[in-house]
Amino acid sequence: MIYSIKLALKSLWFEKWIHMLTVVTIGVGLFVLGLIFFSLYNIEGITSRLPERFSVTVFLSAGTGNREINQLRVRLREDPIVKRIKYISKEAALVELRTSLKDAAYILEGLDENPLLPSIEIRLKENGFDKKKVEGLINRLKSLRDVDDVVYGENLLGTIYTIRNAVKTISAGVILLFSMAIIFVCYSTVKILFYRRKEEIEIFKLLGATKGFIRLPFLIEGGTLGFLGGLLGGAGTYVLYRFINGTVISDFPILGVMHMPLGLVAALPAGGAILGIIGSTIALGRLKF
Amino acid sequence: MIGFKDVTRIYDNMTALRKVNFGIGKGEFVYITGPSGAGKSTLLKLIYLAEKPDEGTISIAGWETDTLRESAIPYLRRNIGVVFQDFKLLVNRTVYDNIALALRIRGFGETEIKGRVQDALKLVGLRHKNDNFPAALSGGEQQRITIARAIVGEPTVLLADEPTGNLDVDNAAGIMKIFKEINAKGTTILIATHNRELFRNTGLRVLWFDNGNLVADKEG
Ligand SMILES: Nc1ncnc2c1ncn2[C@@H]1O[C@H](COP(=O)(O)OP(=O)(O)OP(=O)(O)O)[C@@H](O)[C@H]1O
Ligand SMILES: [Mg+2]
């Protein structure tokens, strides 16, 4: 084991130029991956906070009795995607309207009867935020006898849904593509190293080396290349984030909501090492005695 | 220790060995001789499993080529020290590292390796060449390094392919003396050579090959 590490380090040093190139290539690849994860993380963050602002208002028919209202409230509370509900009686609605009108409240003066409808405001759970489920709930509500109308942000619902799905699909594709590219870079580097040391490996075999003994230095090498690439990519991602946070943010305050998960920076070297080992394993293939 | 039963090895359409039968006991000192192309190197390669027989069975130290699993090959090879005809030294490593490699492959610790490598170098009389690279050594010295690497792991069988090929008479005698010392400790030794001077009047066993056939098995 120690000897394998020594062999790997020696080879890493001996072939430092080709390795530098590999590390930079992997670094760039992982940098892009880092950016994708970074964007994904933030888009997830933003869209997962959107459902809080999304509400469904159920207007009840004018003559609905207290018993029916209470029944409906119980039913809604038990619904798996409902977070909380708020009942607004028609009196409360009028008070609210008055306050929001402020100085213009006099336009309500002439009314001798409250024209407003009682309503129930529904807030949804974040994890239950699924277009089909939400629409299912709304359709069920609309079909009820006591329900006059259901008002909700149809566009918002659709937009959140589309953004989330598109982002997930595209990211998955790009992540897969870049992971494969990184594996390929490690694969070809290790393949070259392997062929350069072919003669040496033949001698190793004749002296009684196991396949593991022959493979290990190459796996360590590939893993180290991936790891170093990951450090580079992680550093790049972090620097870019600091730059955005420091300079760009003063011009575009919107970006202030962005966060950089430190776990991501740490995960890049680990991810790089894993991709490197995968690439090396494929490069070595099946050894024969 | 080593048994050949109806062993045939054919390269493309060239028969290098034809229905060869013989047995070698533990601790024996045996020469293999014959003209160039007789099949001497092929025979040794079959023993250290660099080649597979096309027909017949070879048994080595209790293993049989018929039933040998590929994963067992490295462990079997560790019982066999080989002095290759072309040395097979690693050019980018020092004498010390070349010999130590045989032990590192076996998983020895560095302290143990140091002692053993020094002992092996002492036996071949090249202790002062520790830090030299193979290219800085004469042919005879390289040959002795190869011997040191072959014996450092204390194999039960030592195979040598033309071990005196590059040597003058004095050096050749020196190397034969080393082999005798190793043999005296119980190691089975097989030496392939076309130099009949090596075994003339030694009384040792000689297997004579010609054109892939074992033609004689007698004392030298
Ligand atoms: N890899 C190979 N491919 C094809 N033919 C081979 C191969 N190795 C050996 N041969 C042939 O097999 C025959 C036996 O070769 P081998 O090397 O065993 O002879 P040898 O007795 O060791 O000869 P020398 O004294 O010249 O070393 C020769 O005719 C050789 O040409
Ligand atoms: Mg030969």
CATH number for the domain harbouring residue A109: 3.30.70.3040
pLDDT range class, residue A186, cuts 50, 70, 90: very high
Number of compact structural domains in chain A: 2
CB of B194 less than 8 A from some CB of A: no
Tell which of A119, A152, A185 closes a domain.
A152
Same domain for A144 and A13?
Answer: no
Residue B61 contacts A, CB cutoff 8 Å = no
Q: What is the CATH number of domain B1-71+190-220?
A: 3.40.50.300
Range of the domain at A23: 2-49+159-286
CA distance A218 to chain B (A): 15
CA–centroid distance, B85 to ligand 2, in Å, is 7
The neighbouring-strand residues paired with B24 are B2
CA–CA gap between residue B1 and residue B50 (Å, rounded): 18
Same domain, A100 and A114: yes
CB contact under 8 A, A207 and B77: yes
> What's residue A258's pLDDT?
65
Task: Determine which residue's CA is closest to atom 6 belonging to ligand 1.
Answer: B11
Alpha-carbon distance of B125 to B137, in angstroms, equals 13
What pLDDT is stored for residue B188 in this prediction? 97
User: What's the gap in Å between B161 CA and the centre of ligand 2?
Assistant: 7
Regarding whether A249 and A167 lie in a shared domain, the answer is yes
Residue A115 sits in the same domain as residue A72? yes
* Contact (CB, 8 A) for A85 and A120: yes
Residue A34: pLDDT band (50, 70, 90) is confident
> Where do the domains of chain B lie?
1-71+190-220
Worst-scoring range by mean pLDDT, A76-80, A172-176, B131-135, B149-153? A76-80
DSSP 3-state of A252: coil
Reported ipTM? 0.93
Nearest CA to ligand 1 atom 26: B36
Residues A144 and A271 in one domain: no
Tokens of A183: 């594996």
Residues of chain B under the 70 pLDDT cut: none
pLDDT at residue A256 is higher than 70: no
Q: Residues whose CB is under 5 A from ligand 2 (ion)?
A: B 41
Q: Which of B85, B93, B104 to substitute to test the interface with A, most A CBs within 10 Å?
A: B104
Q: Tell which phi-psi region holds residue B27, choosing left (phi > 0), alpha (psi between -120 and 50) or beta.
A: left
Q: Is the pTM of this model over 0.80?
A: no
3-state secondary structure of A218: helix
From the list A203, A208, A289, the residue facing B88 with the nearest CB is: A203
* Close Cβ partners of A274 (under 8 Å, ≥ 6 residues apart): A223, A226
Q: Are residues A279 and A202 in the same domain?
A: yes
Q: How confident is the model at residue A129 (pLDDT cuts 50, 70, 90)?
A: low
How far is Cα B142 from Cα B87, in angstroms, rounded to an integer?
A: 7
CA angle B146, B149, B153 (to 5 degrees): 150
Q: What is the pLDDT of residues A85-125, one digit of tens each?
A: 888 888 888 888 888 887 777 777 777 777 788 888 888 87
Q: Probe ligand 1: pick from B8, B42, B45, B85, max atoms within 8 Å of CB?
A: B42
In ligand 1, the atom with minimum distance to the C-alpha of B17 is 14
Sign of CA dihedral A198, A204, A205, A206: positive
What average pLDDT is seen over chain A?
Answer: 83
Which of B10, B14, B45 has the most ligand 1 atoms within 8 A of CB, as the residue to mutate?
Answer: B14
Shared domain for A136 and A224, answered yes or no, is: no
What pLDDT was estimated at residue A289?
Answer: 75
Hey, is the C-beta of B52 within 8 angstroms of any chain A C-beta?
Answer: no
Sign of CA dihedral A66, A67, A72, A78: positive
Q: Could you say which of B78, B84, B88 has the minimum Cβ distance to residue A208?
A: B78
Band (pLDDT 50/70/90 cuts) for residue A228 is: very high
Give the CA diameter of chain A.
105
Do A27 and A93 lie in one domain? The reply is: no
Helix (H, G, I), strand (E, B) or coil at A59: strand
B61-116 pLDDT, tens digit each = 888 998 999 999 999 999 999 999 999 999 999 999 999 999 999 999 999 999 99
- The alpha carbon of residue A74 and the mean position of all alpha carbons in its chain are separated, in whole angstroms, by 35
Same domain flag for A187 and A72: no
Among B40, B195, B196, which residue has the most ligand 1 atoms within 8 Å of its CB, making it the best to mutate? B40
Nearest CA to ligand 1 atom 30: B37
* CA B215 to each of CA B32, B42, B218: distance values in angstroms, whole numbers, following the listed order: 11, 16, 10
pLDDT recorded at residue A78: 86
Q: What is the pLDDT of residue B133?
A: 97
Question: Same domain, yes or no, for A75 and A146?
Answer: yes
Give the pLDDT confidence score for residue A253 in this predicted structure. 60
Would the pLDDT of A157 be above 80? no
- Give whole-number Cα distances, B139 to A108, B142, B168, in Å: 114, 5, 10
Q: Are A275 and A233 in contact (CB under 8 A)?
A: no
Are the C-beta atoms of A120 and A88 separated by less than 8 Å?
Answer: yes
Pair A111, A134 in one domain:
yes
Same domain membership, residue A25 and residue A60 = no
The per-type count for chain A, helices as H runs and strands as E runs, is: 10, 4
Q: Are B33 and B206 in contact (CB under 8 A)?
A: yes
Neighbours of A280 (CB within 10 A): 27
